[in-house]
């Protein structure tokens, strides 16, 4: 079963109702398990994000801090975002890059990218997150082929927030020096997705989603 089949078989509203119905006793039980270092399950998680858990937020924060310190120590991972372009053909309600917002759009050329990298280097960062909007024509694979090797010269760890690509393109990004790629799925609720992605390629995803479910 693919992830898509799995997620479309779930009714998010059922989970939402289950969360709302959690009792104070269930919150207490989940917290007791956390205090005793026992494994929490999905029901416990639901209790801890339920309205009944609101009075326990401080205690949850303290427990979370204790567990985080035990697992990761006091280490803090810092990275710098490098915006190569703010061009985007999509229109997501929650984003300043959305195509209908009127402001000056930029696509850094090789020289400008190098200047940014030099500035980042001076700040002492080697963990760089490259960010772009979605624009296949001016900010797609041809552009990445030119820019990523430049950024990689300055990065010991290079990651990227990038538009959805084909498998062979992700593979190619790796050969260009990329260590990790971030692709966000803002919501798995088709109605909410449609409401927040008003036009552009992401709106097409909504139509494809509908066809797949027809």
Smallest separation (angstroms) from ligand SF4 to the CB of 189: 17
For 39, the 3-state DSSP assignment is: coil
| Rounded Cα distance, 44 and 21, in Å | 13
Assigned token pair, 161: 């927030």
Smallest separation (angstroms) from ligand SF4 to the CB of 160: 13
Q: Which is nearer to ligand SF4, 149 or 164 (CB)?
A: 164
Smallest separation (angstroms) from ligand SF4 to the CB of 91: 6
Q: Which is nearer to ligand SF4, 39 or 185 (CB)?
A: 185
Q: Which is nearer to ligand SF4, 48 or 87 (CB)?
A: 87
Smallest separation (angstroms) from ligand SF4 to the CB of 97: 4
Q: Which is nearer to ligand SF4, 30 or 108 (CB)?
A: 108
| Rounded Cα distance, 86 and 108, in Å | 9
Matching residue, tokens 């985007």? 88
Which residues in this chain contact ligand SF4 in the complex, by CB under 6 A? 88, 90, 92, 95, 97-98, 133-134
For 33, the 3-state DSSP assignment is: helix
Instruction: Give, in order, the Cα–Cα distances in Å from 40 to each of 32, 45, 69, 87.
Output: 10, 7, 18, 43
């Amino acid at each position: 079963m693919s992830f898509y089949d799995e997620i479309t078989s779930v009714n998010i509203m059922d989970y939402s109702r289950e969360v709302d119905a959690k009792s104070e006793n269930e919150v207490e039980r989940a917290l007791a398990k956390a205090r005793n270092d026992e494994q929490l399950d999905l029901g416990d998680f639901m209790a801890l994000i339920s309205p009944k858990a609101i009075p326990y937020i401080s205690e949850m924060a303290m427990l979370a801090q204790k567990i985080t310190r035990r697992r990761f120590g006091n280490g803090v991972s810092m990275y710098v975002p490098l915006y190569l372009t703010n061009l985007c053909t999509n229109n997501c309600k929650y984003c300043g890059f959305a195509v209908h917002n009127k402001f000056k759009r930029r696509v850094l050329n090789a020289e400008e990218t190098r200047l940014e990298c030099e500035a980042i280097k001076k700040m002492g960062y080697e963990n760089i997150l490259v960010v772009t909007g979605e624009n296949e024509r001016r900010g797609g694979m041809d552009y990445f082929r030119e820019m990523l090797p430049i950024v990689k010269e300055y990065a010991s760890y290079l990651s990227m927030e990038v538009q959805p690509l084909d498998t062979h393109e992700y593979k190619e990004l790796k050969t260009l020096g990329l260590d990790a790629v971030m692709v966000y799925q803002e919501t798995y609720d088709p109605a909410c997705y449609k409401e927040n992605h008003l036009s552009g390629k992401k709106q097409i995803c909504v139509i494809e989603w509908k066809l797949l479910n027809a």
